[in-house]
Structure 1
Amino acid sequence: MKPLIYTCLVTVIIIFLSLSTIEMLENDSDVLENLILEIENHVLMDRWEEAGLKEKQLKAQWEKYEKKWPMFIDHAEVDNISYHLSELEVFVENKDRTLSEAKLSVLKLLVKNIPQKEYAILQNIL
């Protein structure tokens, strides 16, 4: 009987930790997505200084998440976001509207998909 209780307890703990991780990733990705949307609005209105400031804010926020996210998601996803953020910085500095919009679109998609991917993995476990 004890092995069954331990197994159930471990299962509940794993599910709880998985849901907590997904919640954390959702909150973090919402913060990043909001910053991306703000940059997008500034780029569309040709307010490059504001876009540059928000881009720096996005990069600073990402540096915080970049340290903890690899514990929970694939390292390739983290590297991919870092790569696109580096490109975005150059495009905003050069005031290249088309490439900035394209890169922001890619970043938005990458950031939105991370919690969804982890949720799909949890569904497979259950």
Structure 2
Amino acid sequence: MIKEEIISGKECANSILAIHDVMDILNGKWKISIIACLCHDKMRYTDLLREVKGISGKMLSRNLKELEDNLLITRTVLNTQPIMVEYQITEYGATLKNVTSVISDWGLKHRKRIMAK
């Protein structure tokens, strides 16, 4: 027999608060995609713009700034001519790799289910 864990009201409230915190940080439709791209390798701004389908340059810049403010990515200005900017996931940001994998797996299953209708 599987023993079910009973969650108290306080634990549930704390759990929901934590979920709200995550959703505030990863809000919008682009941040998870940006993080997923950077989990594989560091990328230049133009590479991210090309890889994250449908995002505008202005929206990419805004999302990158917010991810950097939350210590999930780093921005490095390369000493090249012309100047290039490179983005990389931080060690802290890399802890989201499992989250992006789970979301991706679920999304693929959901897409198959909906398309089979």
TM-score, normalised relative to structure 1: 0.35
User: Greater strand share, 1 or 2?
Assistant: 2
Structure number with the bigger relative contact order (C-alpha 8 A, sep ≥ 6) is: 1
